[in-house]
Amino acid sequence: MRRLPWSLSLFLLSLGCAPTQRQTPDAGAPEARPQRLAVNIVHTYPHDPSAFTQGLQFHQGQLYESTGEKGDLRRISLEQAAPLWKESLPDVFPEGLASDGERLYQLTWQDETLFVWNGTPPAKEKQVAYAGEGWGLCYWRGQLVRSDGTSTLRFHDPKDFRVKSQVQVTLQGVPQEMLNELECAEDGVYANVWHSNNILKIDYATGRVLAVIDASALAQAVRGRVHSYEAVLNGIALEPGTGRLFLTGKLWPDLFEVTLVGPAATP
């Protein structure tokens, strides 16, 4: 998620305030086995290998990226690695990125600040305080969905970022921690799992994992060209209108257009 020794990552599992659960699965009903899928690389595009990717988002026909560390908000393209536009954010650690079609919403890791961007090129319209950490963010049916590294997804009102509800993510009853970058789609919310090659597809209402997507083929494709422990899979973007799926990673030199195939081999 961010550049920290792995031994410290276990301390990132803090829980924020706890509103009423959105929906709790029936404790007496076993969860169905999730679908097992894998990624198939369709095209490979250049990506800035210095970008510590935290969020990847289509917005008004353009592709935007939120980068961490001494990060920024940037507009990128499929034709070149260098950003077409960027606004530096040196005083915070930027995180997940979401679009409601009119505005961009950008989280920060531990600064408890949401930036709201508007216009072309984007300019800061306002910032909103929230409690807890910010990891991933996406927009779905009038709500912003946030991850914070725990097994909880929180649903926020975009107007004031108030938490309206929350749900615990489980895979066959087992809570799934380290939920990172998010992408909201009609069939579920897709979540990177930090320091994993897996992406989870999650049911909005119950939090149940519907599919486990093995993206290890992408890590294999950049092997030998990345040299950081933190150069892990992170960044999911669905292109509106076409349904094309794009994935990348922190400090990766490639951005991949992929399709999902299955079933993947079960470990």
Task: Say whether 182 sits in a helix, a strand or coil.
Answer: strand
pLDDT in tens, the chain (267 residues): 455 443 334 333 333 334 545 544 454 566 789 999 999 999 999 999 999 999 999 999 999 999 999 899 999 999 999 999 999 999 999 999 999 999 999 999 999 999 999 999 999 999 999 999 999 999 999 999 999 999 999 999 999 999 999 999 999 999 999 999 999 999 999 999 999 999 999 999 999 999 999 999 999 999 999 999 999 999 999 999 999 999 999 999 999 999 999 975 544
pLDDT at residue number 15:
34
Please list, in sequence order, all residues whose beta carbon lies within 8 angstroms of the beta carbon of residue 213, skipping any fewer than 6 positions away.
37, 38, 39, 190, 198, 199, 200, 201, 260, 264
Cα 246 to chain centroid, rounded: 12
- Residue 80, token pair as written in the block: 């070149």
**What's the CATH superfamily of 32-261?**
TolB, C-terminal domain (2.120.10.30)
pLDDT at residue number 2:
53
Domain boundaries, the chain: 32-261
User: What DSSP state is assigned to residue 10?
Assistant: G
Is 0.95 surpassed by the pTM of this model? Answer: no
Class of residue 7 by CB neighbours under 10 A (exposed 0-12, middle 13-18, buried 19+): exposed
pLDDT at residue number 31:
74
Please list, in sequence order, all residues whose beta carbon lies within 8 angstroms of the beta carbon of residue 146, skipping any fewer than 6 positions away.
96, 107, 134, 135, 136, 137, 153, 154, 155, 156, 182
Task: Say whether 12 sits in a helix, a strand or coil.
Answer: helix
pLDDT at residue number 39:
98
Residue 83: which region, alpha, beta or left (left: phi > 0; alpha: psi -120 to 50)?
A: beta
- Give the C-alpha separation, 196 to 123, whole Å: 34
Q: Which residue has the tokens 């969905």?
A: 145
